Amino acid sequence: MKKILFKFILIFFVFFQFESFAEEKNYHKELITDWSRIFPDQNRNAAGPKFFKYIIDKEITYKDFTEFNKLYCAVSGSLIEPNSEPDFLYAKESKTGEKICGDYYKCCIPCSCDIMKYSEVEKMTHKFSDGLKDFYVFTIRNPCKKKDFPDRVNKDYFCDGEKINNNQVYNLNDRVVIGLLHEGRSCKKEEIDFVKSHEVTGRFCELRNNTPLENLKTGMGDIFIKLAR
C-alpha cells in the first residue's frame, strides 16, 4: 500500500512539475523571433518605444508584461540578457517634479545616466488579461518637430509628420513611452541618498551628465540624447 501511495505521489509531482514548466514562457526567445516584426528595417537605435508598444498591445497578464519589459533597453533599443541585474535609480515625475524610484534594466551603464537626466516618468493605467494595473513608465517629449532629429534613428517609427506615430509607439499625454520603471514608487530620502552616492548612478552619472554632448563616446552617445533632450 505504501509503495502504491509513493508511486502515486511521485507521478503527481512529476506531472505537476511538467505542467508548471510547460506554462513558463521564454520571453527572450519570443522577442528574438519577432524582431523583424518589431523592427522591419532592423534599425533598433533608440527604439525602446517600439518594444514597449509591441508588448503593451499583447493580450497578456501583468506578470508577462513586466517580464517582457526586463529584456530590452529603453535608451538604446538593444536586447538584454535574461536574469540581468537592474540599476536602482530615480527620475522626475513629469507633472509634479517628484522623484520616483525603481529598477531599470539597461544594456550598459551609461544608459542609466541618460534615462535619469533626459526622461521623465508618468503613472499609467492599463487593463491586462488579469485586470487593471497602475505602473510608472519612462517618457520623452514629442521629438517630431526637431530639426536635428538624429539621422541614425528611424523617424518613421516615432513620427507621423510632426505628431507622434500612435501606430508605432505608445502616446501618453503627448509624450512617447520608452520603457517601464519596475517597482516604481515615490522615493524615500534614504533611497535618494543611495542613488546619489552609488558609484554608477551617483559618481559616474555626474561625470557623464556634465560631459559636453560632442564628447560622449560610450553607450548610445549622442543618439538618444538628441532624441530626448
Q: What is the pLDDT of residues 104-160, one digit of tens each?
A: 999 999 999 999 999 999 999 999 999 999 999 999 999 999 998 998 999 999 999
Q: How confident is the model at residue 8 (pLDDT cuts 50, 70, 90)?
A: very low
pLDDT tens digits, 38-93? 999 999 999 999 999 999 999 999 999 999 999 999 999 999 999 999 999 999 99
pTM of the model: 0.87
pLDDT value for 212: 80
**DSSP type of residue 85:** P
Q: How far is CA 122 from CA 143, 163, 164, 180, in A?
A: 17, 20, 17, 10
CB–CB of 81/164 below 8 Å?
no
186 φ, ψ (degrees, to nearest 5): -60, 135
d(CA 7, CA 28): 37
Q: How confident is the model at residue 25 (pLDDT cuts 50, 70, 90)?
A: confident
